[in-house]
Homo-oligomer: A and B are copies of this chain.
Amino acid sequence: MAESDIPDGWQARGTPPTLFRRFPFPDYPATRRFLDALADLSAQAGVHPQNINFGSGYVNVTLDATASGAADAGLARRIDALLAQG
């Protein structure tokens, strides 16, 4: 995955590369709102992250590597955009 294809704030991990980002939140309600928005986005998009790992104040998101060998940068940007809606 070319550096230029990795959205700001995300890390490429593994081979083929998945995309990973940690989203910190001040409290559980804020974390919950993000998780709900992420579930709605997944339903709309018909895809969901490979893994979501969360506690009261953070959500770690890992996006699958696709058949073409790179995780979905467009999905990463749509997830980022959920923050602006929060």
Chain A residues in the interface with B (C-beta under 8 A):
28, 32, 35, 39, 42, 48-56
Contacts and interface: CB of A to CB of B under 8 A. Distances in A.
Contacts of A42: 28
Given A28-B42, A35-B39, A49-B55, 4 more contacts: A32-B39, A51-B53, A53-B53, A53-B54
A76 B15 CA distance: 36
A39 B35 CA distance: 10
How many copies of this chain are found per oligomer? 2
A12 B47 CA distance: 34
Given A32-B39, A39-B32, A54 B55 contact: no
A60 to B, nearest CB: 9
